[in-house]
């Protein structure tokens, strides 16, 4: 089977991987959430979310997501006519999370007859590496895939070596704010490899809703605000009402935490620096310190 030449990526992480493999020119269509690297901006948008997160509070977004998934309604719209005109020979999507991107089920009536669909569903950092290998093999650039994976693991292992033997701060990563969701899937592993103890999150398992009271019962030393799909500035704005009795830092979740692509390794470096600044250099990624309060209680304003 010859390598595909015309790719539609409905998955931001897949778009990133294709670009890192040096094949961004083969992308003929992307999702509205595919904003990195810069060379993919301006390509035809074949899928987009049905809601405007910028116009909604975190609680409103959570309610809409719960209602939509509970009723079996997709959060995404697929432009079937555009996909048909673009004539892709490969469409890349996922089935891991109905909230994160278009699923293969959403494509059942929007995919041109005979078009290959490849679903990537990583749950761990090792799975992310496997996704890179899978795409690289299918696209005929296995050597480049190995190089991308080696670079990813090189970054992660450098952090692991640097923090070996250091104390392990207790860390809660909020994948959502209102209500708080503990980071799931690869997030606990990222925290652990960076030299911390992950609170509430379960390695390779989905995130789930908790309460800030439950978070505080775990006595966190550090809370990372990383709401899925948001950059650091908006994350900080959405969490401005929190007053937690520990250090609180908002980060760029959309680039370095939410998307299962090799840039998760940069997130590991940032976590390592936030927890162990003396041994892990600052990767100079967006990070905004939020106001804390001294007593072990939380107030929501």
Q: What pLDDT shows up at residue 107?
A: 59
Residues 121-149: tens digit of each pLDDT:
999 999 999 999 999 999 999 999 999 99
Q: Do the domain assignments include residue 109?
A: yes
Residue 223 predicted with pLDDT over 70: yes
Count of domains observed in the chain: 2
Residue 104 has pLDDT above 80, yes or no: no
pLDDT for 181 beyond 60: yes
% of the chain with per-residue pLDDT over 70:
89
15 has pLDDT over 70: yes
The rounded Cα 191 to chain-centroid distance in angstroms is 14
pLDDT of residue 299 exceeding 50: no
Computed from CA positions of residues 16, 202, 169, 293, in that sequence, does the dihedral angle turn out positive or negative? positive
Mean pLDDT, the chain, rounded, equals: 90
105 and 18 part of one domain: yes
What is the rounded CA–CA span in Å between residue 191 and residue 177? 18
Tell me the pLDDT tens digit for each residue of 142-180: 999 999 999 999 999 999 999 999 999 999 999 999 999
Cβ contact 185:206 at 8 Å: yes
Judge if 189 and 108 occupy the same domain: no
What is the extent of the structural domain holding 81?
7-121
111 inside domain = yes
My answer on whether 99 and 204 are in the same domain is no
Residue 20 lies in a domain: yes
Supply the DSSP string of the chain, one letter for each residue: -PPPSSEEE--HHHHHHHHHTT-GGGEEEEETT---SGGGTTSPEEEEESS-GGGS-HHHHHHHHHHHHHTT--SEEE-HHHHHHH--SEEEE-SS-TTTS--TGGGTTTSPTT-EEEE----SHHHHHHHHHHHHHHTT-HHHHHHHHHHHHHHHHHHHHHHTTS---EEEEEEEETTEEE--BTHHHHHHHTT-EE-S--BTS--EE--HHHHHHT--SEEEE--TT--HHHHHHHTTTEEBSSEEEEE-HHHHTSS-STTHHHHHHHHHHHH-TTTS------EEEE-B-SSS--EE-
Q: What is the pTM of this model?
A: 0.91
| Co-location of 108 and 187 in the same domain | no
Q: Are 173 and 64 contained in the same domain?
A: no
Q: Residue 29's domain is classified under what CATH number?
A: 3.40.50.1980
My answer on whether 188 and 87 are in the same domain is no
For residue range 236-291, list pLDDT tens digits in order. Answer: 999 999 999 999 999 999 999 999 999 999 999 999 999 999 999 999 999 999 98
- Shared-domain flag, residues 202 and 247: yes
Average pLDDT over residues 66-86: 81
| pLDDT (0 to 100) of residue 51 | 77
Taken in order 102, 105, 106, 107, the sign of the CA dihedral is positive
**Residue 54: is its pLDDT beyond 90?**
no
Task: Kindly state whether residues 156 and 82 are assigned to the same domain.
Answer: no
The pLDDT of residue 301 is: 35
């Amino acid at each position: 089977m010859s390598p595909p030449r015309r790719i539609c990526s409905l998955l931001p992480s897949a778009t990133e991987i294709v670009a890192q493999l040096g094949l961004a020119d083969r992308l003929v269509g992307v999702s509205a959430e595919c904003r990195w690297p810069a060379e993919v901006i301006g390509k035809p948008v074949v899928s987009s979310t049905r809601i405007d997160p910028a116009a909604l509070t975190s609680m409103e977004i959570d309610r809409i997501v719960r209602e939509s998934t509970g009723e079996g309604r997709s959060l995404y719209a697929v432009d079937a006519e555009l996909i048909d005109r673009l004539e892709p020979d490969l469409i890349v999507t996922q089935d891991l999370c109905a909230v994160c991107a278009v699923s293969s089920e959403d494509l059942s009536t929007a995919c041109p007859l005979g078009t290959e669909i490849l679903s990537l569903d990583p749950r761990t950092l090792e799975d992310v590496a496997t996704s890179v290998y899978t795409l690289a093999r299918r696209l005929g650039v296995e050597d480049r895939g190995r190089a991308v994976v080696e670079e990813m693991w090189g970054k992660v292992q450098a952090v692991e070596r640097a923090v070996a033997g250091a104390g392990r701060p207790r860390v809660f990563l909020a994948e959502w704010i209102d209500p708080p969701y503990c980071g799931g899937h690869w997030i606990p592993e990222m925290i652990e490899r960076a030299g911390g103890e992950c609170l509430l999150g379960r390695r390779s398992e989905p995130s789930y809703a908790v309460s800030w009271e439950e978070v505080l019962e775990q006595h966190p030393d550090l809370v990372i605000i990383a709401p899925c799909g948001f950059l650091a500035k908006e994350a900080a704005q959405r969490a401005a009402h929190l007053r937690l009795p520990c250090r609180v830092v908002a980060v760029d979740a959309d680039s370095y935490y939410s998307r299962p692509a090799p840039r998760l390794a940069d997130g590991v470096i940032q976590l390592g620096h936030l927890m162990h600044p003396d041994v892990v250099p600052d990767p100079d990624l967006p990070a905004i310190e939020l106001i804390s309060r001294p007593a072990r209680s939380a107030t929501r304003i």
